[in-house]
Structure 1
């Protein structure tokens, strides 16, 4: 008896290939971020966020309402994605518990359509959504901590502590998005191993275009832009005082 080809072999070849492509790209991205952060969009954004924290701390605590509103916008986005991930986890868990649910017929899917393979598909997707949920929860945690630190009235908090909280929140945000990207490719596995492999390659190509950074790092000045608001107030006070002294001098004459 000779060896015969079966459709189930497509899952054994294409699915590990697509998953390997995704993992290899993200390992390469992690290496570039650690060794050459200026070549990645994540490193470029973190550089700007570090400078943003320095500029915001040049204001008094009562004038940092704009900084709090910026962090609150990030909190709203992370909370929304956290809720969406949790809802999708519940939905997939319900589908996994109902073994009789089958949206597609076996004639449409080109690949393994056994119950065990379908269970592996749903478990893999559920794991990615759970990982995304955990990352977005950590994002919310770190941004809330940054809000507490940046609103400290005495201003005794070191800049490094606030920068670390903001950067960690941003990194968990990026990790949560990557988990959603993995979940998207695994969702294509429901339609067969070929869409999953093609989707993995297409996702890597799109992410490489989005993650690469060719712009030079912005060099921020010490107090050139951050103290513009305070300088404006100082100029207005000086003009008012000068006008008052001028009027007072004219009245004496």
Structure 2
């Protein structure tokens, strides 16, 4: 009987994870091989041009660089703060003596025993912790860029290429933190049953596809020229 209750969880939840992971593997392949067909690739190329332009004309654009980087740090800080606050709330729920599964016993499909409820909350906690870690590391790298981008151009060590690499590491970690944060949405719905997890994952993939992929002539022409840069 218990296996029958767990059947939907054992099938739909792993399938939802596979859908999300499969989409991001496909996106990574496109970013590496056809960068100008993706928003991520175009933005990465634009940031390299921006760093090069700022460092060449640093006397006039140093304030612009600092303000732009400050805004990026604020965004990562907001996401990191939100993640750690959610972690604290989940930790309080897990450690409380109140049985959070009681109101849901007769209203959801799938398993809702004590172990399964604990698994749902612990999975959420792990995701938010990883999101916090990615955003914290992103802040670390972009804080270094904040100093290095104003270095004089006669330096043979701190070059625009080196600064661009640090900036890309920061944005890569920021993007990873955001995607992990988004992947927690289906897990939140898992509290109310595995069917909602599957439906949410299915609906998120076309939404992310439209946000990640460029359409039309803008993605043609120079994919091969910068494929090795992204």
> What TM-score range do you get, normalising by the shorter chain?
0.7 to 0.9
- Structure 1: unaligned runs, 5 residues or longer: 220-253
Task: Call closer, same or farther: CA 1:142–1:4 in 2, change over 3 Å.
Answer: closer
What's the C-alpha RMSD, in Å, of the aligned pairs? 2.1
CA distance in 1, matches of 2:94, 2:206: 31
Show CA shifts across 1:198-251 (max 9, x none).
Answer: 0011111111111112324799xxxxxxxxxxxxxxxxxxxxxxxxxxxxxxxx
Larger RCO (CA under 8 A, 6+ residues apart): 2
Q: How does 1:182-197 map to 2 (within 5 A)?
A: 182-197=183-198
Match of 1:246 in 2: none
Decide whether the 8 Å contact of 2:104 with 2:192 is kept in 1: no
Task: Call closer, same or farther: CA 1:184–1:167 in 2, change over 3 Å.
Answer: same
CA distance in 2, matches of 1:218, 1:138: 34
- SS of 1:112's partner is coil
CA distance in 2, matches of 1:105, 1:5: 18
| Superposed displacement of residue 93, structure 1 | 1.0
Decide whether the 8 Å contact of 1:44 with 1:213 is kept in 2: no
TM-score (norm: length of structure 1) = 0.80
- SS of 1:64's partner is helix
| Superposed displacement of residue 6, structure 1 | 2.6
Task: Call closer, same or farther: CA 1:118–1:99 in 2, change over 3 Å.
Answer: farther
TM-score (norm: length of structure 2) = 0.88
Decide whether the 8 Å contact of 1:185 with 1:200 is kept in 2: yes
Task: Call closer, same or farther: CA 1:62–1:80 in 2, change over 3 Å.
Answer: same
Task: Call closer, same or farther: CA 1:18–1:147 in 2, change over 3 Å.
Answer: same
| Superposed displacement of residue 181, structure 1 | 1.2
- Structure 2: unaligned runs, 5 residues or longer: 223-230
Range with bigger deviation, 151-160 or 192-201:
151-160
Decide whether the 8 Å contact of 1:33 with 1:43 is kept in 2: yes
Larger radius of gyration: 1
Match of 1:127 in 2: 126
Number of residues of Structure 1 aligned to a counterpart in Structure 2: 217
Q: How does 1:37-186 map to 2 (within 5 A)?
A: 37-61=35-59, 63-102=61-100, 104-153=103-152, 155-156=154-155, 157-186=158-187
Show CA shifts across 1:115-144 (max 9, x none).
Answer: 100111111111110110011011101110
Q: How does 1:229-240 map to 2 (within 5 A)?
A: none
Decide whether the 8 Å contact of 1:53 with 1:162 is kept in 2: yes
Match of 1:17 in 2: 15
| Superposed displacement of residue 61, structure 1 | 4.0
